[in-house]
Amino acid sequence: MSDMSSGRPGQRVRLEDVAKLAGVSMKTVSNVVHDYPHVSVKMRERVQAAIDQLGYRPNLTARRLATGRTGMLALAIPEIDQPYFAELARRIGEEAVRRGYRVIVEQTLNDADAERAVIRDREEGLVDGVIFQPAYMDTMEIARLRPGTPLVLLGEAGRPLTADHVMIDNVAAAREAVELLLGQGRTRIAFFGMVHGDPTESTHLRLLGYQEALLAAGVRTGPELVIETDGFAIDDGVAALSAALDAGVRFDALVCRDDLFAMAALKVLDRAGLRVPGDVSVLGWDDTALARYSTPALSSISPGKEAIARMALELLEDRMAGYDGVGRHRIAPHVIIERETTGHPT
Amino acid sequence: MSDMSSGRPGQRVRLEDVAKLAGVSMKTVSNVVHDYPHVSVKMRERVQAAIDQLGYRPNLTARRLATGRTGMLALAIPEIDQPYFAELARRIGEEAVRRGYRVIVEQTLNDADAERAVIRDREEGLVDGVIFQPAYMDTMEIARLRPGTPLVLLGEAGRPLTADHVMIDNVAAAREAVELLLGQGRTRIAFFGMVHGDPTESTHLRLLGYQEALLAAGVRTGPELVIETDGFAIDDGVAALSAALDAGVRFDALVCRDDLFAMAALKVLDRAGLRVPGDVSVLGWDDTALARYSTPALSSISPGKEAIARMALELLEDRMAGYDGVGRHRIAPHVIIERETTGHPT
DNA sequence: CTGAAAGCGCTAACAA
DNA sequence: TTGTTAGCGCTTTCAG
């Protein structure tokens, strides 16, 4: 319709170019760009026409410099390809977009230094806030390095409570899991997946809930029913559980630290000729795709990922809005999803 | 050691503050920040001391405005929690970090408009380049909306070749898959997972390779051996395959469109009392966590995700460096990973 | 080898 | 309701 190459050819079109074309000031253009209410209709039309003609789009970077707001959030997690984190990232991404943010994903890749970098404001000036699930750093250390950027932590919270946290009640969830299994007639319930040197608090909490429930029910247990592994990989799980079986450890139910170990359990039990759930009930944790797609479909403890995402964003927006009080905790709901790997013995 | 609150209290410390403290110009500070070679040692030390004392860190946004480079890349994919994309995102993230970029993940969530937004420079000025795996848009449409931001496409490339592409050779991979199965004594090989209304080209290419190999081997086949589904979900797969079995379709091997359908196959075959791989070989596609963790472990066609990531970044860096030629294609390698679901009939 | 100053493109306070 | 203008913090010629 008109000359697209007028003005500074080869350059991006700027607010000023639009203003010039429309014969108005930059402020007026800015007003219509921002849908500022008090702009006369014909002014708005004229400016919009210029914008369309030139194909103007604001330079986000410049806007940021001027406003001091980046509109971006960082999500720092160990590995994006671990199903749980991938699913969480999706929810957080959705929730963030809903609130007008974009998210940059930071993989710490099991590197303690990478985690520290996140906390030491590596993101400073890049993002408005950070959602961080640490694997190595504890609350103490995070408190010490306490960054200037608003921060919300995911996962377990030790003391002191200097930062906001969102988590599920691991103890209660484990307790309920054991109660469910007990209610279905299981009597020798093992906990599978204490990883040697596990830096996370979660596993301990889960084990605690498991033990509490057993104790409360007056069911006898023993240390051999807590099955330890050398690492987080599936092969570690397979090796550990096979060894336990070979050593004569017997159980009719398995509460697994996560879905991955549950998958390992399915493998080992299959090889051992044990039926699931006929001989052994298997319960996973995290309710990931692994659980939904396996055969038999895995029952799993499902942390409310949407709720976690929503709560994290709420807390973060508070902080970004200036809230500067003490660290708050939010407990997201959880639910046990029963699929095919749990049930009464047959 | 010294007064941290000097100057503009409560404000972030700026380059100028450092310059003032060190008694030098901003340029000099900038020089040492950037490790510019020609700075005298004592000057460097003096400035560094000031930087440390003030805890100065450059404002990335300001830097961006000045340089025009953001140091960020966008990765636009349908869903981050689909195992294949999660694993790809991890590789791309790693490769990007290696090259000095951060990546912002854009989920298009199966929304054609969201895809269009990506292409219409929604990211303009936000990122230096975009890596995009479309699910709905075809090459034509992308060419039409051709953005100003450097772009590399992942997945199939139709004509015209206006943009850079990285893909694997789906036809060849499917052919090899069939040849492998044939070599193991399978004779009735089905293709499982033609999704009605599938917008992607990949499935067609895979089917094509499947048919080519069968034809070349002179093995008779039939339309009933191409099993169609109503959607991409596992339930769609389960329903379709069950129906095929009920309808009397028989096969001794299944080449699946992706690992997810392979998981569906494992479920259905298990229920039907068919042994894998004794009665039926099952081959997945994408080599995701699903394949590695299932029981039996799923054999799968593995696209070289690291190679895809590397090639995509290479092409993108070229574009960002100013290359403006015709669209280029790169074929990433693939390999068939044999686990437990393929083998000779027994 | 270092300093001064002019932008980068947009926002927002202040005027008109 | 619209225009003017001074920053936001850093980079980068161009002098010195």
pLDDT in tens, A6-27: 344 446 788 888 888 888 888 8
pLDDT at residue A7, rounded to an integer? 41
Cα distance between residue A121 and residue A130, in whole Å: 9
Sign for the pseudo-dihedral over CA of B170, B172, B177, B178:
positive
pLDDT at residue B66, rounded to an integer? 87
Inter-CA distances, B251 with A121, A226, A303, B219, B296, Å? 58, 44, 40, 13, 19
Using DSSP's 3-state secondary structure scheme, residue A177 falls into helix
In this structure, the protein residues whose CB atom falls closer than 7 angstroms to any atom of nucleic acid strand D are A 24-28, 31, 38-40, 43, 62, 65-66, 68; B 11-12, 14-16, 26-27, 30, 33-34, 56, 58-59, 62-63, 65-67
Cα distance between residue A52 and residue A18, in whole Å: 9
Dihedrals φ, ψ of B37, to 5°?
A: -60, -45
**β strands within A155-269, DSSP E:** 164-168, 189-195, 226-229, 253-256
Protein CA at A35 to nucleotide C1' at D13, angstroms: 38
Residue type, B326: V
Mutation test of the interface with chain B: which of A12, A52, A90, choosing the one with the most B Cβ atoms within 10 A? A90
Task: Walk along chain B (346 residues) and give the pLDDT tens digit of each residue.
Answer: 333 334 444 467 888 888 888 888 888 888 888 888 777 888 888 888 888 888 888 888 888 888 888 889 999 999 999 999 999 999 999 999 999 899 999 999 989 999 988 887 666 678 899 999 998 888 888 888 777 789 999 998 766 677 899 999 999 999 999 999 999 999 999 999 999 988 788 899 999 999 999 999 999 888 999 999 999 999 999 999 999 999 999 999 999 999 999 999 999 999 999 999 999 999 999 999 999 999 999 999 999 999 999 999 999 999 998 888 888 999 999 999 999 999 999 8
Cα distance between residue A268 and residue A280, in whole Å: 11
Q: Residue A343 pLDDT > 70, yes or no?
A: yes
Helices (H) and strands (E) in chain A, counts: 13, 12
Selected residue with higher pLDDT from A64 and A211: A211
Q: Among candidates A265, A204, A208, A203, which has minimal Cα distance to A239?
A: A265
Q: Which nucleotide is nearest to A26 (CA to C1')?
A: D3
Sign for the pseudo-dihedral over CA of A125, A126, A131, A136:
negative
The sheet with strand A226-229 has its strands ordered as A226-229, A189-195, A253-256, A281-285, A299-303, A334-337
Q: Residue A270 pLDDT > 80, yes or no?
A: yes
Inter-CA distances, A283 with A16, A229, A252, A261, A263, Å? 62, 17, 11, 10, 10
Residue nearest to nucleotide D9 (CA to C1'): B62
Q: Residue A300 pLDDT > 70, yes or no?
A: yes
Q: Residue A41 pLDDT > 90, yes or no?
A: no
Task: Report the gap between the CA of A126 and the closest CA in chain B (Å).
Answer: 6
Which among A80, A94, A260 is the nearest to B293, CB-wise? A260
Cα distance between residue B269 and residue B101, in whole Å: 46
What number is the average pLDDT over the span A179-188?
97
pLDDT at residue B55, rounded to an integer? 85
Q: What is the pTM of this model?
A: 0.93
Greatest CA span in chain B, whole angstroms? 87
Name beta bridge partners: B285. Answer: B301
% residues pLDDT > 90 (chain A): 61
Residue of chain B whose Cα is closest to the Cα of A105:
B104
List own/partner pairs for A319-327 with CB under 8 A and 24 or more apart.
A319/A129, A319/A150, A319/A151, A319/A152, A319/A164, A320/A128, A320/A129, A320/A150, A326/A161, A326/A162, A327/A157, A327/A160, A327/A161, A327/A162, A327/A163, A327/A164, A327/A165
Q: Can you state the angle between helices B41-54 and B15-22, rounded to 10 degrees?
A: 120
Selected residue with higher pLDDT from A154 and A162: A154
What number is the average pLDDT over the span A55-81?
89
CATH code, B170-303: 3.40.50.2300
pLDDT at residue A3, rounded to an integer? 36
Q: Among candidates B201, B332, B206, B199, which has minimal Cα distance to B262?
A: B206
Q: Provide the token pair at B167.
A: 């893909």
% residues pLDDT > 70 (chain A): 95
Q: Hey, which residues 164-193 in chain B have their CB within 8 Å of chain A?
A: none
Which residues, at least 6 apart from B342, have a Cβ–Cβ distance to it below 8 Å?
B180, B181, B184, B253, B277, B281, B282, B283, B299
Tokens 């830096």 belong to which residue? A199
Q: Residue A5 pLDDT > 50, yes or no?
A: no
Q: Which nucleotides of D are covered by protein (CB under 7 A)?
A: 1-5, 7-13
The count of residues in chain B is 346
List own/partner pairs for A95-98 with CB under 8 A and 24 or more apart.
A95/A306, A95/A309, A95/A310, A95/A312, A95/A313, A96/A313, A97/B107
Domain with CATH 3.40.50.2300 in chain A: 72-167+305-332, 170-303
Q: Which CATH superfamily is domain A4-67 in?
A: lambda repressor-like DNA-binding domains (1.10.260.40)
Residue type, B140: M
pLDDT at residue A123, rounded to an integer? 63
Query: What's the first-to-final CA gap in chain A, in angstroms?
Result: 77
Using DSSP's 3-state secondary structure scheme, residue B265 falls into helix
Are B298 and B284 a contacting pair, CB within 8 Å? yes
Q: Provide the token pair at A220.
A: 């006898």
Q: Provide the token pair at A21.
A: 């074309």
Cα distance between residue B325 and residue B205, in whole Å: 27
Inter-CA distances, A242 with A197, A198, A247, A281, B156, Å? 20, 20, 8, 16, 44
Q: Among candidates B228, B220, B233, which has minimal Cα distance to B203?
A: B228
Is A295's CB within 8 Å of B292's CB? no
CA angle, residues B195, B198, B202, in degrees to nearest 5: 100
Question: Which alpha helices (DSSP H) does chain B contain, by range?
Answer: 15-22, 26-33, 41-54, 60-67, 83-98, 112-119, 139-145, 170-183, 202-217, 234-246, 259-271, 289-293, 305-320
Domain with CATH 1.10.260.40 in chain A: 4-67
pLDDT at residue A8, rounded to an integer? 42
Q: Among candidates A219, A149, A179, A218, which has minimal Cα distance to A301?
A: A179
Q: Which nucleotides of C are covered by protein (CB under 7 A)?
A: 1-5, 7-13
pLDDT at residue B159, rounded to an integer? 63
Tokens 């970004």 belong to which residue? A320
Cα distance between residue A17 and residue A12, in whole Å: 9
pLDDT at residue A4, rounded to an integer? 39
pLDDT at residue B4, rounded to an integer? 39
What number is the average pLDDT over the span A190-216?
92
Q: Hey, which residues 23-82 in chain A have their CB within 8 Å of chain B?
A: 57-62, 64-65, 70, 72, 79-81
Cα distance between residue A192 and residue A90, in whole Å: 28
The CATH architecture annotation of domain A72-167+305-332 reads 3-Layer(aba) Sandwich (3.40)
pLDDT at residue B301, rounded to an integer? 98
What number is the average pLDDT over the span A238-259?
97
